[in-house]
Amino acid sequence: MTETRWWWIRHAPVPDGGKIYGQRDLDADCTDPVAFKALAHELPRDAMWVTSNLGRTRQTAEAIIAAMGRKAGEIELRAIPELAEQHLGDWQGLDRKEFFAKRDLAVSPFWLCAADARPPNGETFLELTERVHGAIRQLSANVAGRDVIVVAHGGTIRAVLGLALGIDAEASLAFVTDNCSITRVDHIAGDRERWRIVTTNHRPWLRAAGATHVTGVPQGQVQA
């Protein structure tokens, strides 16, 4: 059997002004050197690096690589658009607090809407899972046996966990993925597809003195 080790990292925090951002291409705040040093210490050095097509994932990857002591451009970053966050359509740019004040959290307590609900001019979370699963399966076949570090998004990583566990899209929304956290899943190729979950939402910088990272999401709120 061949094992491919996937190291999923959610991008660094986004100064979003309290707005829903989805696929808006906003910059990440990569000014916490303690957090990036802790991440760099945890990750393999000979891995393939992947990001989505959104700049905040590349910025985060470059900050981690710099914390490893590597030079800019020394490591190739492959951008895969299918790994982008959910497109939230007309909700992107809306005030997050005002949005949640008007909706029933019982409909979907962990996300902006149910997995099969479509934001106006956007995509459903179910559609996100389909494109993410397709990209992962294709890449797993091409890089079998390697370590793959992917800097992506909260929704993307939830979709990964849904694939690994064989659960539906709605159930996968219950996972928490903090900024700059590591989720490790291994793809095991053989007579049938198998996945091993090693860790989820691992935050190696939590105990590091001087880390300025704020973790967790206030109750009733969602970062998107």
- The alpha helices in the chain, defined as continuous H runs, are 33-42, 55-67, 96-101, 125-142, 154-165, 169-172
Mean pLDDT taken over the chain: 92
- pLDDT at residue number 106: 75
Provide, rounded to the nearest whole percent, the portion of the chain with pLDDT above 90. 80
Q: What is the pLDDT of residue 33?
A: 93
The mean pLDDT value for 144-159 works out to 97
pLDDT interval class at 207 (50, 70, 90): confident
Tens of pLDDT, residue by residue over 23-80, are 999 999 999 999 999 999 999 999 999 999 999 999 999 999 999 999 878 999 999 9
Nearest to 154 by CA among 85, 89, 222: 85
Q: Could you read off the pLDDT of 100-137 as tens digits, one per residue?
A: 998 887 778 899 999 999 999 999 999 999 999 999 98
Q: Are 149 and 47 in contact (CB under 8 A)?
A: yes
Q: Which helix (H) or strand (E) holds 187?
A: strand 182-189
**Burial annotation 113-123 (CB, 10 A radius, 16+ → b, else e):** bebeebbeebb
Confirm or deny that 56 is annotated as ligand binding: yes
Confidence of residue 195 (pLDDT cuts 50, 70, 90): very high
CA 36 to chain CA mean position, Å: 16
Per-domain residue ranges for the chain? 2-202
DSSP letter, residue 8 = E
Q: Which fold has domain 2-202?
A: Rossmann fold (3.40.50)
Average pLDDT in the 188-197 region?
A: 89
Assign 215 a pLDDT band (cuts: 50, 70, 90): low
- Strand pairing report for 48-51 and 77-79: parallel
pLDDT of res. 186: 96
